Amino acid sequence: MSLPRIPSLSLGGKRAFVPGGSRGIGLGCAAALAEAGAHVIVAARGGATVEEAVADLRAAGYSADGIPLDVTDLAAQEAAMDGIGAIDILCNSAGLARHGAALDTTPEDFDAVFDVNVRAAYFLARNAARRMERGGSIIQISSQMGHVGGIDRAVYCGTKHAVEGMTKAMAIEWGARNIRVNTICPTFIRTPLTAPTFADPEKRKWIEDKIKLPRVAEIEDIMGAVVFLASDASAMVTGTSILVDGGWTAG
């Protein structure tokens, strides 16, 4: 009898576009995809950070290129993706947060966060799907806050709930083209951007009380989920989310 075999986690021969991939969670995504064998194209607003990320990836022996890109500039976004050409994987980690009480939300903050987290993410997915000539995987780095609410996070939660909704609709629409669309929803991950939150004893206690596992999350905790969703190991996974939240949303 012939035993079934685990589908490959290798991404050899595949091309991955990683907006927001120059630091933090995005750099973790880029490194994970590159280590699995993909050629990675890193994009971010800061040209210097893109160059540094690409240099680090290449120094580790990985195949990588980079481009400076403001994902909210839709014309620039489309032109950049025209230059990149066909891709197999989009892993969008570009994001913005401006936390504060809902009563104090300004239209400027609302528009800025939705512009990056929803509008840009939507058109990155659309533009990627148009360039996935042999099918592919679209991965949006969402958040546990796309499944629950949080104090001072009404705008941010709104954007991530929107990403969860559009992901389901796109998965339905593009399934016949063998394009899978999913999200990864991390909890608070220790990065330079979250350092002030972890440095606040009250906020750190709130995080530790919500996470059921006995530690906070590190960037490495999302890397396996990224490779899984990008690879053939998740060939029947679409329109859903992987919650890397340490049990936060379990209750």
Give the separation between CA 37 and CA 20, rounded to whole angstroms. Answer: 20
Q: Where are the alpha helices (DSSP H) in 94-153?
A: 107-114, 121-130
Residue from 142, 226, 230, 223 nearest 179 by CA:
230
Residues present in the chain in total: 251
Q: Which residue among the candidates 160, 168, 203, 212 is catalytic per the annotation?
A: 160
DSSP H/E element including 89:
strand 89-92
3-state helix, strand, coil in the chain (%, to 5): 50, 15, 35
Q: Which residue among the candidates 14, 62, 122, 156 is catalytic per the annotation?
A: 156
- Could you tell me the CA-to-CA distances from 136 to 120, 202, 240 in Å, in that order? 19, 42, 15
Active site residue 212: no
Give the separation between CA 186 and CA 189, rounded to whole angstroms. Answer: 7
As given in the structure block, the two tokens for residue 167 are 């992901």
Active site residue 156: yes
Bridge-partner residues for 141, per DSSP? 184
Decide: residue 77, CB within 10 A, 0-12 exposed, 13-18 middle, 19+ buried.
Answer: buried
> Which residues are known catalytic residues?
156, 160
